[in-house]
Structure formats: structure tokens, C-alpha cells
Amino acid sequence: MLLVLALLGYLAVVAINDARHPPEQPVRELFAALTARDTAAAADLAGCASPACTGTALAGGYQPPEHVDIGEPVYGDPADITRRPDKSIAFVPVSYRLSGARQETTIRVQRTGDGLARPYRILYGATGRLTITGVRVAQVQVGAATVPAGEPDGPGLTVLPGTYSVQAAGDVLFAPAEAGPVRVDVPATADSRATPQQVALTVRVRPEAAAQVDEQIRALLTDCTRQTDLRPPGCPFQVPGIVIGADDVRWYDLQPPTVEIVPVDDPGLTGAPATVRTVTPGQVTVTYTAFTSVTRTRDTITQRLPVQVGGTVTTDPADPATVTWTR
């Protein structure tokens, strides 16, 4: 009799525990936290520790899932088909809308702790991944969080499900694109092999950075015009061909070229986030005396030569207000 009473008591406790801590409880709490934009609670429930799941990441630039529908959980298969389902594991189906589009996923939950009161905790399937492509920048703004951009072919940034505003975080060289942030839907997925959601970013070169580069180019060109060589070293202009007995070399009447700074898609190829190219060549005049094959005497020769520059533009974390042009 005592054994029967003990068994009935145990079953009653189990039933109460199941009622108090159903498998879908942490899933409901997660989507409630997302709706409230409570980053800390949502990150803890989903098990997300990435930079996009910290601080006040959901406080701005984020739209939580809407019209959430949580289905009936399905318990894990027993180790023995003659036994009841394994209630320590459950799979909770969820559907919701992001930007009006229906999304579906299954979140796996697992019981935790010891004893009779064992609530469920989300195991996986409650986060998505985001990969940044396009112009490479050091940091991006995802929602209200500033996070490392990562590698385009890497595993991606783990984020909580929702719709995010994504844009390049400004630095001394680049500013976010004038078109504003890109909106991207990132659904949750239980498939670790699923392709991350991709978003291509664009940036614009800051006018102040362009002015610094232009000043550095003009400084080099001015220094080059002070040289007395027909082929001044490190300079983007020189007298072509063979010149015999050149003397009295003078460079003057410099017209600098018009250049533009071009962001690169893969800084690994150049080691720099941007390159410089000439849009409209400049000009410079050189005058010198030399022997000519026509008169076989020393004559004064004047030539108008083109000026084109290229190179790369880099930034230095130790001097965040400066960009450096290298020819």
C-alpha cells in the first residue's frame, strides 16, 4: 500500500512539474523577450553569446518576429521502442513572420537540473547567422550593436531572430552609405549547416579623408617639381627615352591630376581598404638643356608631360584621425 501511495505521489509531482514547466515555456519566454527587445533575457534563453547578443543590441534598428505561433512539442524518441517517449528532450515547432514573410523552425529544448522540478532550457535552434559581404570594413552596425564584420566566407555572426538594420560602422576613411542601413531578415535555424543570411554593404569615402589624400598627393608632386633630375625618384612623371648630357633641369607649371578613392572588396589582395586611381591626368612642364641628334649641339628643350598617380589608402589605429596614401 505504501509503495502504491509513493508511486501515486511521484506521478502527481511529475504531472505538476510538467504543468509548471512545459517544454514550450522557454520558447514562449524567448519570443516575449524579443518582443520586449530585452537583449539580456533573450540572449540567455537562446544561448547566444556573440557581440550581437550583448548590451542593448535590440534597442534600435531591430524588429522582432510577429504573429508568433508555437505548436505542440514532440518528445524525443526513446532508446527502446517499447518504452514511452523521452521527455527529457522535446522539439518545439514555431512559426512567425519577418517583414510579412512566414518563417518556420523547430527549437530543441532539454530538461536541466536534478530532482523533480526540472525546467526545460533551449538547446539549439533559436538563433540565426548573418554574413557581411561587399565592401570590407572593420566593424558593422547590426541593430544597435557595433560588431566585427568577420570574414565573408566565415561561419557568420550569430544573432537572435528578427529583422535588422545593418550598415557599415563609420571610421576615419569610410562613412555609412548615404542610402542608409540595409534591412535583413534573419530567421532562426536548427540546421548548423544552413547558409547564413547575407547582406551586401556599401560605403562612401569621407570628404575629409579624400581631402587628406589629395593634400598628400599634392605635397609629393610639389616636392617632385623641386628635383633636378629628368627621372626624379619616387615621382609619377619622368622624361621618356634617352637624353644625352642633360643639364639645367627645371620642373614647373604643375597641374595635379583628379583622383578618386575606391573601396576594395578584399583588402587581403592589397593590404589596404581602398585604392587611388586617376580620373583625369594632370600635367607638368619640364625644361632642360641637352644634346640633340638634329643640331648636334646643346639646345634648350621644353616638354609637357602627363601626371598620373595610383596607390593605396590605409588607416592606423594608433592615429585614428589620419589616413595615409602610399604610392
Instruction: Summarize pLDDT for 280-327 with one digit per residue, the tens.
Output: 999 999 999 998 776 678 899 999 999 999 999 998 878 888 999 999
Do 101 and 163 reside in the same domain of the chain? yes
CA 258 → CA 182, 283, 309, distances in Å?
32, 11, 9
How many CA atoms within 13 Å lie on the side-chain side of 204?
9
At residue 319, the pLDDT reads 86
Of 54-68, 79-93, 110-124, 186-200, least confident by mean pLDDT is: 79-93
Q: Which of 201, 231, 266 is the last residue of a domain?
A: 201
- Three cell numbers written together for 155: 561561419
| 260 within some domain | yes
The residue with greater pLDDT, 184 or 293, is: 184
Q: Which of 176, 201, 226 is the last residue of a domain?
A: 201
At residue 23, the pLDDT reads 94
Of the candidates 201, 196, 213, 181, which has an alpha carbon nearest to the alpha carbon of residue 265?
201
Structural domain count of the chain: 2
At residue 9, the pLDDT reads 46
CA 234 → CA 102, 220, 239, 243, 326, distances in Å?
60, 9, 14, 19, 11
CB atoms within 10 A of CB 33: 21
pLDDT (tens digit, 9 = 90+) per residue, 101-118? 999 999 999 998 665 667
Q: Which of 201, 223, 256 is the last residue of a domain?
A: 201
Taking residues 71-100, report their average pLDDT: 82
CA 199 → CA 156, 185, 302, distances in Å?
11, 10, 55
At residue 152, the pLDDT reads 65
Do 194 and 224 reside in the same domain of the chain? no
Of the candidates 320, 290, 312, 318, which has an alpha carbon nearest to the alpha carbon of residue 302?
290
Do 188 and 211 reside in the same domain of the chain? no
Q: What percent of the chain has pLDDT over 90?
A: 57
When pLDDT is cut at 50, 70 and 90, the band that residue 18 belongs to is: low
For residue 236, the 8-state DSSP code is: S
pLDDT (tens digit, 9 = 90+) per residue, 145-179? 988 877 666 678 899 999 999 988 778 898 887 66
The residue with greater pLDDT, 149 or 224, is: 224
